[in-house]
Structures are given as structure tokens and as C-alpha cells.
């Protein structure tokens, strides 16, 4: 089994997209839950960006143990000094430094020549190494870079002491085949690449973030970066819960080992959504409210006979109570009988035709049939609540 490291950036790349800043207490609550979920690395913020971010990284580093706590910097000495200061009390600290490497970013944004960019990258990694051993280097907009140049900058930062090299698809422009090829290219063309970990960091502008991340893993990436519920800049980052469950359901096929506890996924998703105020779309893979709901009659019938006909994940594995069948006008008689029995009724087969006809009349008027409606249908009214 190959170990894959999970790098969570909900509190940095995720939070930076919100338009609001979470306070330290809120960030600490999310950080503790991420540690319970079992991510390996937690990017707690960008200390040089604001006093609040500095404080959050500091407090998370001090309070959250048993996990690598990381802070982001630019290739700027002052950023690195502040980040090292913020991480002082962390048990296992990491500095994540980097610079843009695509022609458009170097020329139009940084206004630097490629050799100057390499120099800044090397200096930043050397500077960070004065404080601690674990230094990750990100090559911003790597997917749109010249791959020979990317290989060269990685070679130089590895020589300067980087322990992880990060390949971001910053603008979510890649498709899985191309992204996999990029990771393979780096694996075969960067001297000493086997001494460091390769990380992939994908954005979701084309809806490909999870697919690209998995292509990166298949090509040999050791670490994946993402956020809970996929929150992040524009269309978001790779949703970590999707990567976790893709690996979990495909374990035997891909031979990937993760250190997470999937039962904490639903609780983590709910916490991030309630604290950030970013709702989870109902159809969102893994954590959407509809992700385990079965509405059509044919599907409900299949599920009642054998769950795996339409269910690839047992919802209890991610901490969601067993499947929910939604009764509606599309439900069949089998689903209706099953729910009535769950509610304690024992409808005779001879009663079912009439009950089903009455159920359909009601279902035509309402979107969804609730248990209360079924009690009325059975002529018992709504049972009194205890207490």
C-alpha cells in the first residue's frame, strides 16, 4: 500500500475566498475537527497577510497536536520570519513558501525574469530552512508554466533544502490526462525528486479539481491539497472528502492508504458550512443532503432489495444515518409498504392497492410525503410527541 498525505487548506485557500475573515475561535474549532478527521497537514493561514491570520496560525500551532501545522508565505524574507514566529509552538511545523512560475505571471504580475524568479525561490527556501526542516515550495500557476523551467526551479529548490514540491493548477485549467502527464514529467525530469514529496493542488474552474488530483496521484503524487466542501477561490479547490472517498471505495484497486477517519466527514462538512456560512449544495458529491437519497420508484425498489444496486457508499461510513428513501409521486408500492412497516404499521397485501392509490393522490399534490402524511393516510393522525 502506498501512503497518500492529505493537506487541508480550508483555513487558508478556503477562507481567503470568503470575503469575510473567520475569527481565531472559529478557526481553532475547525482546526480541531480537521485533526479529528485525521488530515496529515493543516494549513492554518498566511501569517504575513494580517495580524488576525498571524494569531490564528500561532494559536492553532500551539493548541492542535499530532498533526503538521503549516503557514503560507511568499518568497519574501519578512513573510518567512513572521511565519516561523507564528509556528514557534507548533509540534510539527511546516513553512509553505513559493512564487509564480508561468510566463504570464512572471512577466505581467511579478515583472521578473525567469532567472530572477529562481533566485528568489532558492533564497526563500534557504531562509526558511534556517528556522525549521520541513519546507514546502509551491510553483504558482505551474500548469501554465514552461515545463523545462518548472523542472529547473524544482531542481534548485530541492538543492536548497525543500522537502515537498507543490504543483498547483492555480486557475483550474487542466484536464486529468494533461495534469497526470505534468506530474509524470516532473517525476522523470527533476534530479533528486525521489528525495522529496510531490504535492498536487488543484482548482475547480472546469469542474476537474478532483479528477485532476486523482490523475496526479496515479502519476505518483505523494500529497494532495484541498478543502472541506471544496470551498475556495472562484469555483473552489479540490474537495478533500471526494478524494478521501474515491480512495476509500477504490482502495483495493489503487492500493492507496490514508490515515483519515471517514466517519468524521459529515460532521466536518457541517461544521465548516455552519462556521463559514457557505451552504453545501444539495447535490454535492459525498456531503450534499441528496447524496444518499433515493427518489425514483425503480431505484427505491432496487435499494430495498439490495442496497448496492444504487449505493456505492454506505452513508454510515461517512457518519450519515442509513439511507434515506424519499417518498414522492415517483415512489413505488414497495417503498411505501417498507416505510409503513418501519413506522410500525402492518398493512395487509389486500389493503396496499387502496393505500397506494390514496398515497399517489396525495403525492400529486405535495412534493414529498412525510411520516406525518402516512399517519394520516393510515387513519391514526399524527402520534403525540412524548415529553
> In this structure, how many other beta carbons lie within 10 angstroms of the beta carbon of residue 40?
18
Q: CA 15 to CA 37: how far, in whole Å?
A: 19
Rg of the chain's alpha carbons, rounded to an integer? Answer: 25
Residue among 170, 227, 268, 269 that touches ligand KIV (CB under 6 A): 170
Known binder of ligand: residue 338? no
Alpha-carbon distances of 197 from 72, 118, 144, 183, 214, rounded to whole Å: 17, 20, 21, 12, 16
CB under 5 to 8 A by kind: which of Zn ion, ligand KIV, none does 140 bind? ligand KIV
Q: Which residues of 16-29 are buried (b: 16+ CB within 10 A; e: fewer)?
A: bbeeebbebebbbe
Q: Which lies closer to Zn ion via its Cβ, residue 61 or residue 168?
A: 168
Establish how many alpha carbons lie within 13 A of residue 87's alpha carbon, considering only the half-sphere containing its beta carbon.
32
Q: Which lies closer to ligand KIV via its Cβ, residue 15 or residue 301?
A: 15
Q: Is 168 in the site for ligand KIV (CB under 6 A)?
A: yes
Q: Which lies closer to ligand KIV via its Cβ, residue 172 or residue 180?
A: 172
Q: What are phi and psi of 242, to 5 degrees?
A: -70, -45
Q: CA 163 to CA 154: how far, in whole Å?
A: 11
Minimum CB separation of residue 29 from ligand KIV in Å reads: 23
The contacts of residue 288 (CB under 8 Å, 6+ apart) are 280, 281, 282
Q: Which of residues 6-25 bind ligand KIV (CB under 6 A)?
A: 13
Minimum CB separation of residue 46 from ligand KIV in Å reads: 9
Known binder of ligand: residue 314? no
Q: Which lies closer to ligand KIV via its Cβ, residue 176 or residue 262?
A: 176
Known binder of ligand: residue 203? yes
Q: Is 43 in the site for ligand KIV (CB under 6 A)?
A: no
| Nearest residue to 262 via CA among 281, 287, 233, 238 | 287
Q: Is 136 in the site for ligand KIV (CB under 6 A)?
A: no
Residue among 122, 140, 241, 264 that touches ligand KIV (CB under 6 A): 140
Minimum CB separation of residue 177 from Zn ion in Å reads: 21
Q: Is 163 in the site for ligand KIV (CB under 6 A)?
A: no
Q: CA 32 to CA 134: how far, in whole Å?
A: 22
Q: CA quadruple 257, 220, 207, 279: dihedral positive or negative?
A: positive
Bridge partners, residue 94, by sequence: 70
Q: Which of residues 177-206 bind ligand KIV (CB under 6 A)?
A: 201, 203
Residue among 138, 149, 154, 173 that touches ligand KIV (CB under 6 A): 138
Q: Which lies closer to ligand KIV via its Cβ, residue 127 or residue 203?
A: 203
Q: Which residues are annotated as a binding site for Mn(2+)?
A: 13, 201, 203, 237
The residue ranges that bind ligand KIV (CB under 6 A) are 13, 138, 140, 166, 168, 170, 201, 203
Q: Which residues are annotated as a binding site?
A: 13, 201, 203, 237
Amino acid at each position: 500500500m502506498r501512503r497518500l498525505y492529505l493537506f487541508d487548506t480550508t483555513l487558508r485557500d478556503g477562507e481567503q475566498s470568503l470575503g469575510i475573515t473567520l475569527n481565531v475561535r472559529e478557526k481553532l474549532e475547525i482546526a480541531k475537527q480537521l485533526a479529528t478527521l485525521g488530515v496529515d497537514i493543516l494549513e492554518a493561514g498566511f501569517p504575513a497577510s494580517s495580524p488576525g491570520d498571524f494569531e490564528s496560525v500561532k494559536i492553532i500551532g500551539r493548541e492542535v497536536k499530532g498533526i503538521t501545522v503549516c503557514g503560507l508565505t511568499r518568497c519574501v524574507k519578512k513573510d518567512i520570519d513572521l511565519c516561523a514566529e507564528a509556528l514557534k509552538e507548533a509540534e510539527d511545523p511546516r513553512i509553505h513558501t513559493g512564487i509564480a512560475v508561468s510566463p504570464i505571471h512572471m512577466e505581467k504580475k511579478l515583472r521578473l525574469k525567469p532567472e530572477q524568479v529562481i533566485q528568489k525561490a532558492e533564497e526563500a527556501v534557504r531562509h526558511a530552512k534556517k528556522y525549521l526542516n520541513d519546507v514546502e515550495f509551491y510553483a504558482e500557476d505551474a500548469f501554465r508554466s514552461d515545463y523545462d523551467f518548472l523542472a529547473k526551479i524544482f531542481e534548485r529548490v530541492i538543492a536548497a533544502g525543500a522537502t515537498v514540491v507543490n504543483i498547483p493548477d492555480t486557475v483550474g485549467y487542466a484536464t486529468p490526462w494533461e495534469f497526470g502527464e505534468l506530474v509524470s514529467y516532473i517525476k522523470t525530469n527533476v534530479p533528486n525528486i525521489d528525495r522529496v514529496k510531490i504535492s498536487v493542488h488543484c482548482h475547480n474552474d472546469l469542474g476537474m479539481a478532483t479528477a485532476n488530483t486523482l490523475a496526479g496521484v496515479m502519476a505518483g503524487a505523494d500529497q494532495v491539497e484541498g478543502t472541506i466542501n471544496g470551498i475556495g477561490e472562484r469555483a473552489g479547490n479540490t474537495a478533500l472528502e471526494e478524494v478521501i472517498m474515491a480512495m476509500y471505495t477504490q482502495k483495493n484497486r489503487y492500493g492507496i492508504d490514508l490515515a483519515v477517519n471517514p466517519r468524521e466527514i459529515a460532521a466536518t462538512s457541517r461544521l465548516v458550512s455552519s462556521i463559514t456560512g457557505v451552504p453545501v449544495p444539495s447535490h454535492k458529491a459525498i456531503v450534499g443532503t441528496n447524496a444518499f437519497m433515493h427518489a425514483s420508484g425503480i431505484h427505491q425498489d432496487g435499494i430495498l432489495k439490495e442496497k448496492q444496486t444504487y449505493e456505492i457508499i454506505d452513508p454510515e461510513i461517512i457518519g450519515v444515518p442509513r439511507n434515506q428513501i424519499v417518498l414522492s409521486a415517483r415512489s413505488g408500492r414497495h417503498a411505501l409498504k417498507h416505510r409503513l412497516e418501519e413506522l410500525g404499521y402492518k398493512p395487509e397485501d389486500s389493503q396496499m392497492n387502496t393505500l397506494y392509490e390514496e398515497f399517489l393522490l396525495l403525492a400529486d399534490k405535495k412534493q414529498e410525503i412525510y411520516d406525518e402524511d402516512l399517519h394520516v393516510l393510515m387513519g391514526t393522525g399524527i402520534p403525540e410527541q412524548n415529553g
